[in-house]
């Protein structure tokens, strides 16, 4: 008989422990819930009360299921003991009958094998005791809801009361999760070692997982609520009710549920404190990302429109509310499409200080890595990278470098060369090539072409663009990662990059100072693939310039209104490789009828396969002829 009583006892013990834990938690949980609800007002208070009731009801269901399970296992254990006793009786009767019939003479070994092994054919080999069942039906819990869609008006609560409830819920949840996990493990062992009992308990594990997940979600939401009210009440007595706008509370709790238009309305009048509360949850910016840049641009301009208070100071005439938003959430508005370029640059100046602190903190930590540490060789490169980043960001903070976008964690950086104004005639979007990292910007190498053209083509603004990790880039130390070089020839990678670049252009052109300007795209190496892929997603350029461009995606079709130009050195390794057809399946600038090709030669003995490929993207004297030709094209 396959029924291990010790395993059954372990399951009973695990269930009894879980019932005790869940039951003992009821009183303290009800107490802190009541205290939290006593002064809690607003739609989230209603949700908290409803979800607390749902959690209590679900707890009762789980306790009932555990008690029922324990009862069934105990009964199965009794049945197993009875079955074993009956089998022993049958064995004794069988031995008696064998003796009576003279079969004992057959031999002790034969009898022992047949009788004690219960394999002897006949009426004594099976117990007549009915096999017990251990069954748990599905457990259905009431769903928990925390979404308000933004709400309106104000909410209030006692921050300390919410914090106490949140702390207790966290403590209880951790204990319950561990206790329920022991029950799940014991159930698995029971099914494996007690198969004589007919069991169907598969519903327990997913049900208790759902119970714990709902509890965890409620716990996290209450923590966000408590933290939001504590932030709103900073400097005040946190043992008395604090008021807070329901929209800022919703953004701190469930930002994805707040429509973008609701968020714009809120931000138009939000105080610095309300913005700080909302920005406590990093996902609060998601609704903004769903708003078209044209709509963001119109909304932003409206903040400076008739009726708005304007501060005419060093911030170049920002309205009071624009100053509030830029000062309270500069990282958000320094990266939001639809915010004018100069305003984004100002926001990123404000952010530079915190980015410098983050880089300096990491640098200090890495400097403690011992020389003999296995990762020392990696940290050395990272340290050098951070030193350069800090020096670069100091230039940003002082206004010597203009950043349209900067995100350290996602390797996003767009530097603006020149300042747009009412006289701006053209915009250059320059995309560097393979291996480009943020470090490529820190020493100024990536910006050479753009700076040259802005200097020699008046009324020009240029954006040096890198939005995300590039093929062959090592984002940790800013070095080359040859393992990732194959991404430069990956069609899907190219499409993703083009889609992002098209989004950038749409946001940039929403700037009143840049609307209607001539759009010039320049791409070096893989950067040109990025540029032409953006045309697949709606980007438009009057002039499209390839600097030894890698190639074009198979979906790309030239625009009849665009002038396409390809500049390349004859000794360029990529130019030579393009003859093989292995680069972008042969769909490359030098072989496409839409392009006017200009092939250059360097003096005998100079250059080389790699050097000829990189020099074309520089302002070196060796590249003088290309620079002059490009300048004429840009100004034409």
> Is residue 100 pLDDT above 70, yes or no?
no
Q: What is the DSSP string of 160-228?
A: HHHHHHHHHHHHHHHHHHHHHHHHHHHHHHHHHH-TTSEEE-TTHHHHHHHHHHHHHHHHHHHHHHHHH
> Is residue 313 pLDDT above 80, yes or no?
no
What local confidence, expressed as pLDDT, does residue 133 receive?
Answer: 86
Q: What integer is the mean pLDDT of 1-27?
A: 92
CA distance 200 to 207: 14
> Is residue 325 pLDDT above 90, yes or no?
yes
Of 58-67, 317-326, 382-391, 612-621, give the lowest mean pLDDT range. 317-326
Counting other chains too, the contacts that 599-602 makes at CB distance below 8 Å and 24 or more residues apart are 599/568, 599/569, 599/570, 599/575, 600/567, 600/568, 600/569, 600/570, 600/625, 600/626, 601/569, 601/570, 601/571, 602/569, 602/571
Vertex 234 angle, CA 231 and 239, to 5°: 95
Residues 125-174 have pLDDT tens digits of: 445 567 888 888 889 999 988 876 666 789 999 999 999 999 999 999 99
Nearest by Cα to 429 from 349, 335, 542: 542
pLDDT grade for 312, boundaries at 50, 70 and 90: very low
Listed in sequence order, the residues at least 6 apart from 221 whose beta carbon sits closer than 8 Å to its beta carbon are: 146, 253, 254
> Is residue 525 pLDDT above 80, yes or no?
yes
- Percent residues over pLDDT 70 in the chain: 89
> Is residue 571 pLDDT above 80, yes or no?
yes
What local confidence, expressed as pLDDT, does residue 83 receive?
Answer: 81
Nearest by Cα to 622 from 610, 599, 606: 606
In SS3 terms, 492-553 reads as HHHHHHHHHHHHHHHHHCCCCCCCCCEEEEEEECHHHHHHHHHHHCCCCCCEEEEECCCCCC
CA distance 85 to 97: 19
What local confidence, expressed as pLDDT, does residue 472 receive?
Answer: 94
> Is residue 512 pLDDT above 60, yes or no?
yes
Distances (CA, A) of 278 to 183, 488, 519: 40, 40, 37
Average pLDDT, the chain: 89
Phi, psi of 558 (to 5 degrees): -65, 145
> Cα Rg for the chain, rounded, in angstroms?
36
Nearest by Cα to 417 from 440, 446, 381, 385: 446
What local confidence, expressed as pLDDT, does residue 82 receive?
Answer: 84
What local confidence, expressed as pLDDT, does residue 85 receive?
Answer: 80
Instruction: Give residue 399's region: left, alpha or beta (phi > 0; psi -120 to 50).
Output: left
What local confidence, expressed as pLDDT, does residue 578 receive?
Answer: 86
**The two structure tokens encoding residue 370:** 């011992």
Nearest by Cα to 527 from 603, 589, 443: 589
What local confidence, expressed as pLDDT, does residue 121 receive?
Answer: 40
> Is residue 88 pLDDT above 90, yes or no?
no
Listed in sequence order, the residues at least 6 apart from 301 whose beta carbon sits closer than 8 Å to its beta carbon are: 512
CA distance 525 to 487: 13
Q: What integer is the mean pLDDT of 238-262?
A: 88
The β-bridge relationship of strands 479-480 and 518-524 is: unpaired
The residue ranking higher by pLDDT, 436 or 110, is: 436
Using an 8 Å Cβ cutoff, are 59 and 26 in contact? yes
What local confidence, expressed as pLDDT, does residue 248 receive?
Answer: 87
pLDDT grade for 120, boundaries at 50, 70 and 90: very low
Of 256-270, 301-315, 333-347, 361-375, give the lowest mean pLDDT range. 301-315
Residues 408-444 have pLDDT tens digits of: 999 999 999 999 999 999 999 999 999 999 999 999 9
Q: What integer is the mean pLDDT of 473-492?
A: 91
> Is residue 603 pLDDT above 80, yes or no?
no
Q: What is the DSSP string of 74-116?
A: HHHHHHHHHHHHHHHHHHHHHHHHHHHTTGGGG-HHHHIIIII
What local confidence, expressed as pLDDT, does residue 351 receive?
Answer: 96
The residue ranking higher by pLDDT, 506 or 317, is: 506
Q: What integer is the mean pLDDT of 255-274?
A: 89
**The two structure tokens encoding residue 172:** 């209880």
The alpha carbon of residue 136 and the mean position of all alpha carbons in its chain are separated, in whole angstroms, by 38
Using an 8 Å Cβ cutoff, are 571 and 612 in contact? yes
Predicted model pTM: 0.79
Phi, psi of 490 (to 5 degrees): -95, 115
Of 50-54, 315-319, 379-383, 512-516, give the lowest mean pLDDT range. 315-319
Please name the helix (run of DSSP H) or strand (run of DSSP E) that holds residue 412, with its range, or none.
strand 412-417
């Amino acid at each position: 008989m396959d029924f291990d009583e010790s395993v059954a006892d372990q399951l009973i013990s695990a269930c009894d422990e879980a019932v005790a834990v869940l039951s003992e938690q009821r009183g303290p949980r009800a107490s802190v819930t009541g205290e939290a609800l006593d002064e809690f007002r607003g739609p989230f208070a209603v949700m908290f009360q409803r979800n607390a009731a749902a959690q209590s009801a679900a707890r009762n269901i789980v306790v009932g299921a555990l008690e029922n399970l324990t009862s069934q296992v105990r009964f199965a254990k009794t049945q197993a003991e009875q079955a074993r006793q009956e089998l022993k009786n049958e064995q004794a009767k069988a031995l008696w009958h064998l003796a009576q019939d003279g079969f004992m003479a057959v031999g002790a070994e034969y009898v022992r094998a047949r009788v004690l092994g219960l394999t002897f054919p006949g009426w004594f080999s099976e117990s007549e005791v009915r096999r017990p069942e251990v069954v748990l039906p599905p457990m259905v819990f009431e769903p928990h809801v925390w979404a308000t869609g933004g709400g309106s008006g104000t909410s209030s609560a006692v921050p300390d009361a919410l914090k106490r409830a949140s702390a207790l819920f966290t403590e209880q949840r951790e204990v319950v999760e561990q206790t329920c996990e022991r029950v799940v493990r014991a159930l698995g062992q029971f099914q494996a070692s007690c198969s004589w009992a007919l069991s169907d308990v598969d519903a327990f594990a997913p049900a208790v997982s759902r119970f714990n997940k709902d509890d965890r979600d409620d716990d996290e939401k209450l923590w966000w609520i408590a933290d939001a009210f504590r932030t709103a009440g900073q400097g005040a007595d946190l043992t008395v009710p604090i008021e807070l706008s329901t929209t800022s509370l919703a953004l701190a709790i469930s930002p994805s549920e707040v429509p973008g238009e609701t968020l714009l309305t809120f931000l138009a009048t939000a105080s610095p404190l309300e913005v700080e509360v909302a920005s406590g949850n990093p996902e609060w910016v998601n609704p903004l990302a769903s708003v078209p840049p044209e709509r963001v641009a119109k909304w932003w301009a409206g903040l400076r429109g008739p009726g708005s208070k304007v501060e005419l100071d060093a911030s170049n005439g920002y309205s009071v509310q624009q100053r509030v938003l830029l000062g309270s959430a500069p990282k958000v508005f320094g990266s939001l499409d639809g915010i004018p370029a100069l305003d984004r640059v100002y926001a990123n100046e404000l952010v530079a200080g915190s980015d410098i602190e983050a880089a300096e903190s990491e640098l200090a930590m890495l400097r403690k890595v011992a020389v003999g540490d296995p990762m020392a060789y990696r940290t050395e490169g990272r340290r050098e990278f951070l030193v350069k980043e800090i020096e670069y960001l100091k230039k940003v903070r002082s206004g010597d470098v203009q950043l349209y976008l900067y995100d350290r964690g996602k390797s996003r950086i767009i530097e603006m060369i020149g300042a747009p104004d009412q006289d701006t005639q053209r915009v250059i979007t320059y995309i560097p090539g393979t291996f480009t990292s943020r470090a490529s910007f820190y020493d100024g190498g990536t910006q050479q072409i753009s700076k040259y053209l802005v200097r020699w083509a008046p009324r020009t603004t240029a954006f040096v663009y890198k939005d995300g990790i590039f093929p062959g880039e090592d984002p940790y130390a800013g070095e080359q990662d040859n393992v990732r070089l194959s991404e430069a020839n990956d069609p899907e990678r190219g499409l993703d990059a083009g889609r992002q670049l098209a989004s950038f252009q749409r946001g940039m052109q929403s700037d009143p100072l840049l609307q209607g300007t001539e759009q010039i795209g320049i791409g070096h190496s893989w950067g040109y693939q990025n540029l032409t892929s953006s045309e697949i997603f709606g980007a438009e350029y009057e002039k499209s310039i390839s600097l030894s461009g890698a190639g074009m995606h198979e979906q790309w079709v030239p625009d009849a209104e665009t002038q396409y130009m390809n500049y390349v050195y004859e000794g360029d390794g990529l130019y030579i490789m393009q003859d093989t057809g292995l680069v972008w399946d042969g769909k490359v600038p030098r072989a496409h009828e839409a392009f006017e090709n200009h092939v250059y030669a360097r003096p005998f003995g100079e250059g080389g396969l790699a050097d000829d490929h990189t020099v074309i993207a520089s302002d070196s004297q060796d590249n003088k002829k290309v620079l002059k030709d490009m300048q004429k094209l840009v100004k034409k």
